[in-house]
Structure 1
Amino acid sequence: MALKMRSSVAHAVLALAVSFSLVAGGPLAVPAAAQVQPNGPESVADLAESLLDAVVNISTSQNVKSDDKAPVPQVPEGSPFQDFFDEFFKGEGGEEGNQGQTVNSLGSGFVIDPSGFIATNNHVIEGADDIEVNFANGSKLKAKLVGTDPKTDLALLKVEPKAPLKAVPFGDSRTMRIGDWVMAIGNPFGLGGSVTVGIISARGRNINAGPYDNFIQTDAAINRGNSGGPLFNMKGEVIGINTAIISPSGGSIGIGFSVPTELAQNIFLQLRDFGETRRGWLGVRIQPVTDDIAESIGMSEAKGALVAGIIKGGPVDNGSIMTGDVIIRFDGKDVDEMRDLPRVVAESPVGKAVDVVLLRDGKEMTVKVTLGRLEDGEKQAGEDEVTEGEGTTEEGMAPETGEAQPSKADTVLGMGISDLGEEARKTFEIVESVKGVVITEVAPDSAAAERGIVPGDVIVEIGQEAVTTAEEVKTRIAKLKSEDRRNALMMIANRTGALRYITVRID
């Protein structure tokens, strides 16, 4: 009945439209937006048939030693998606009493070179002792792991075929638009490829899986075992690697995520050529430019990446880029928000000289920078210190100590402040490299407390000008009040020297 009613209404609307066109004395004009194909794309059978042979099933096994009957692990330790969703490629593992167990997993992959290079997800093969690739024609080959990149959850395998394999080409994911048709192919159970079709639902998704998140979201069904399979455009080109889903049950609910080829293609090339990644490195700590920070430094809009620290010995430890700079363009690419910078830097070749456009003291300027290698920087200083995009949100915590806090503290914006002498440095265990004005106490309901400031933090700058005495802090705040500023921009160091910019509301 409902269907008939909808049909009747449709006929009535059509009759009314025809009548209107006859009265107007001309043909019926259909708006461009109304010229849609109600039945979706034409058959994709020919396209799917030409691609199925290049999509493979990847079977892995891992020997797990156990003293008891522990359950089969659902997510490998260290997986970048451990906190976001449960893996959807796992198969069943067997248990053999207390003698340990063999965990078997299934996933998908695809051939990117006829000589035998196969792309997949890192979490599909992570921790595997044995990797076997099952092809659509029923043949099987043992695979060797060429290299992995946990930061993007990608991995490259190599098999030794007797004849060239069917491979699929990469396309340009940057040309894909929301609403474009896409096809996902997986080979989850080794029974042959499974094909689903949908559209691109969104682009540039950040699901907090890693520092370079830029996922394509699609409603093409991605189910258990499809992880590592390709996402194709309607030309038969790979524009994404199916990696993650959001699902309470493990099945598709129309929210799937793929690593775009604009990021993945270069990773696979590096893994093939070097067996490892070789990412560009700028050597800065950055944080987002909030509306309050933008207002405090005179920016008309909140955009770019705020430089909160320079890594000692890094590529820009020569004064070319300074703390307080806001990077708004890198090598011709706009940096609209903080997370854009790590990605464009990582995609740039090591040793390349690039132009960096930044804002300093309210003026736009361009500096030339030669990039280092991120992996070398990680070995030199530790990953947490060198990865652009991790931010500087670590809060300095005052140590538990029975010693008295420094006396004669002034109060400003709900903070007790004092010159940073030896007594204060010893009390709060502040490293020698930190210079500024120590915060001795913070009122619980103050604006400073809202921003996560704690006793033992040190005010290094106010309004991008260094301060060394409590009197200077009071003078700067008073000046900002006289200028009717709503917020005070401060550079804060914790007791270990980690820097961050914050804004504190001026009451």
Structure 2
Amino acid sequence: MQSLALALLSAALIMAQAIAAHARPESFADLAQKFSPSVVNITTSTTVAQGAGPAPLVPDGSPFEDFFRQFRDRGQGGDRPRRSSALGSGFVISEDGYIVTNNHVIESADEIIIEFYEGGELEAKVIGTDPKTDIALLKVEATSPLPFVSFGDSDTARVGDWVMAMGNPLGQGFSVSAGIVSARNRALSGTYDDYIQTDAAINRGNSGGPLFDMDGKVVGVNTAILSPNGGSIGIGFSMASNVVSRVVDQLQEFGETRRGWLGVRIQDVTADVAEAMGLENASGALITDVPTGPAAEAGMMAGDVILSFDGVKVPDTRDLVRQVGSTEVGKSVRVVVFREGGTKTLRVTLGRREDAENVDGTDLSDGGSDATPAPQTMMGLTLSPLDDDLRAQLELAESATGLVVRDIDPLSEAYEKGLRAGDVITEAGQQKLATIDDLKDRIADAREAGRKSLLLLVRSAGQPRFVALSLGDD
């Protein structure tokens, strides 16, 4: 009897596993029928100058110059402006007519026409755009409430989950494709990228359309494809809804984005940098410069490693940028930094990123010695202290101090890590440098502390970055 019960239980478990393994929708028809009325086709029209297009390459004075000009004028009406059209997709997010699409779909458009699934067209106006995430918010004035869809939580989307894309591929009209989530947290080229990768077919014209989960929630906005031939090869990217929804809320409220701003220049912590600083793990965001701004006011310093921001661990620079950008302007947050072998908690009141886009960094160096000894070579670098002549040649501030790279061994580790003649080393071991002896002291200190490498702060064309160089043998 007991063996029969065990056999039945085993069979039930096998059956449950089989059902789970084959758990998939038999059809996407119900979802498509329910949510298609909320998806729209977008047609844009733009006036462009006739001379803006490509023209035959005819040398000035050529006997064919007049011929090609006359041919162009007859065929295209001279230099008169012409209209250019483009197609894309979008989706309605409120019954009063707010529509989400990609910024590149409507950028520079003179006229935007929305075509609805159940027929009819309306002209749309732009409420706001965010080129950084390629999102735009439009508005139409409808005579009756419009069917709309809602954003889902993209963070719950798992690799392997079913998804469905809708849009207007290649101008063919309303179309549905299905696939799975192929990958998460993809970055293409933007600072705030957080893409869902999918193998649901996405082609030109799908841009701006929704990516649905199986609950009919929008988890992404179809934005880009990776393709060698311009067509879908099963690698498409949808901007995650948790990024889009925050952008849309700000565009709807302010007509623009308002991202948090910390005010630091940062780089990732590599294994050799972590070893040189005495960090247990190669994680966090290493501050290379602190221009005037919120971080400077809070006491942050170049050489600090940001370990956590507003109670959340910081694995790398990309994650920190996204955390800061999604935090409200004016919020006071706790930032934990690693400094001089220990941790320190600072409180920072965030500024607004958009107000600081063009703010230049300030030179934070202290004044130094006027001594100008002969160049010396160490770690593959031929170095000289900064003097007035070198400051003038390198267009540096009069207060700038450090060691100038006069020459570099092309076979050295320093060369492999990107140092070049003309670079200025301003710090070693997170202490200011003014003389060659300062660098020798830092090397000696690192060796005494058992370090295998020394952390240098290098300015290349004015941009700071940290580089860890091996100390080698005595």
**Structure 2 residue 297 is matched with structure 1 residue 332:** no
Question: For residues 176-215 of structure 1, what are the structure 2 equivalents within 5 Å?
Answer: 176-188=157-169, 192-208=173-189, 210-215=190-195
Q: Distance in 2 between matches of 1:31 and 1:423?
A: 82
Tell me what 2:61 maps to. none
- For structure 2, the residue ranges without an aligned partner over 5 or more in a row are 56-74, 363-371
Amino acid at match of 2:464: L
Q: Which of residues 101, 119, 122 in structure 2 aligns to 1:141?
A: 122
Amino acid at match of 2:45: S
**Structure 2 residue 211 is matched with structure 1 residue 228:** no
Tell me what 2:106 maps to. 125
Q: Distance in 1 between matches of 2:38 and 2:399?
A: 57
Tell me what 1:48 maps to. 32
SS at match of 1:343: helix
Q: Distance in 2 between matches of 1:225 and 1:69?
A: 22
Tell me what 1:271 maps to. 251
**Structure 2 residue 254 is matched with structure 1 residue 254:** no
CA 1:304–1:66 in structure 2 vs 1: closer, same or farther (change >3 Å)?
A: same
Tell me what 2:378 maps to. 412
CA 1:185–1:140 in structure 2 vs 1: closer, same or farther (change >3 Å)?
A: same
Q: Distance in 1 between matches of 2:43 and 2:417?
A: 49
**What are the superposed Cα offsets for residues 309-352 of structure 1, whole Å, 9 maximum, x if unpaired?**
1121x112224321111112212222111100111111111101
Q: Distance in 1 between matches of 2:107 and 2:465?
A: 35
TM-score, normalisation: structure 2: 0.86
Tell me what 2:368 maps to. none
Amino acid at match of 1:242: N
- Displacement of 1:484: 4.9
- Displacement of 1:30: 3.2
Tell me what 2:89 maps to. 108
SS at match of 1:411: strand
Tell me what 2:14 maps to. 30
Amino acid at match of 1:345: V
Tell me what 2:466 maps to. 501
* Conserved 8 A contact 2:170-2:203: no
* Conserved 8 A contact 1:57-1:188: no
Q: Distance in 1 between matches of 2:195 and 2:16?
A: 30
**Structure 2 residue 336 is matched with structure 1 residue 351:** no
Q: Distance in 2 between matches of 1:367 and 1:69?
A: 54
Amino acid at match of 1:259: M
Q: Which of residues 35, 54, 63 in structure 1 aligns to 2:47?
A: 63
- Displacement of 1:435: 1.8
Provide the alpha-carbon RMSD of the alignment.
Answer: 2.4
* Conserved 8 A contact 2:391-2:400: no
**What are the superposed Cα offsets for residues 404-425 of structure 1, whole Å, 9 maximum, x if unpaired?**
xx77111111111222222332
Q: Distance in 1 between matches of 2:380 and 2:427?
A: 17
**Structure 2 residue 449 is matched with structure 1 residue 469:** no
- Displacement of 1:455: 2.4
Q: Which of residues 184, 191, 199 in structure 2 aligns to 1:219?
A: 199
CA 1:36–1:427 in structure 2 vs 1: closer, same or farther (change >3 Å)?
A: same
Amino acid at match of 2:376: D
Q: Distance in 2 between matches of 1:193 and 1:96?
A: 33
Q: Which of residues 405, 415, 418 in structure 2 aligns to 1:452?
A: 418
CA 1:35–1:296 in structure 2 vs 1: closer, same or farther (change >3 Å)?
A: farther
Amino acid at match of 1:225: G
Q: Distance in 1 between matches of 2:334 and 2:128?
A: 31
CA 1:418–1:219 in structure 2 vs 1: closer, same or farther (change >3 Å)?
A: same
Is the deviation greater in 347-356 or in 327-336?
A: 327-336
CA 1:156–1:37 in structure 2 vs 1: closer, same or farther (change >3 Å)?
A: same
Amino acid at match of 1:374: R
- Displacement of 1:277: 0.6
CA 1:478–1:270 in structure 2 vs 1: closer, same or farther (change >3 Å)?
A: same
SS at match of 2:297: coil
Q: Distance in 1 between matches of 2:31 and 2:425?
A: 62
CA 1:435–1:115 in structure 2 vs 1: closer, same or farther (change >3 Å)?
A: same
Q: Distance in 1 between matches of 2:438 and 2:18?
A: 65
TM-score, normalisation: structure 1: 0.81
Q: Which of residues 141, 151, 155 in structure 1 aligns to 2:132?
A: 151
Q: Distance in 2 between matches of 1:190 and 1:503?
A: 53
- Displacement of 1:230: 0.6
- Displacement of 1:485: 3.0
CA 1:371–1:254 in structure 2 vs 1: closer, same or farther (change >3 Å)?
A: same
- Displacement of 1:151: 0.4
Tell me what 2:299 maps to. 320
Q: Distance in 2 between matches of 1:293 and 1:456?
A: 23
- Displacement of 1:361: 1.7
- For structure 1, the residue ranges without an aligned partner over 5 or more in a row are 1-20, 72-94, 387-405
- Displacement of 1:39: 7.3
- Displacement of 1:487: 1.9
* Identity %, equivalent residues: 48
CA 1:331–1:31 in structure 2 vs 1: closer, same or farther (change >3 Å)?
A: farther
Q: Distance in 2 between matches of 1:31 and 1:413?
A: 67
Q: Distance in 2 between matches of 1:200 and 1:33?
A: 22
* Conserved 8 A contact 1:431-1:495: no
Q: Distance in 2 between matches of 1:473 and 1:359?
A: 23
* Conserved 8 A contact 2:225-2:236: yes
Give the number of aligned pairs: 438
**Structure 2 residue 334 is matched with structure 1 residue 368:** no
* Conserved 8 A contact 2:260-2:352: yes
SS at match of 2:294: coil
Tell me what 2:289 maps to. 309
**Structure 2 residue 129 is matched with structure 1 residue 164:** no
Amino acid at match of 2:262: L
Question: For residues 366-405 of structure 1, what are the structure 2 equivalents within 5 Å?
Answer: 366-379=345-358, 381=359
- Displacement of 1:441: 1.9
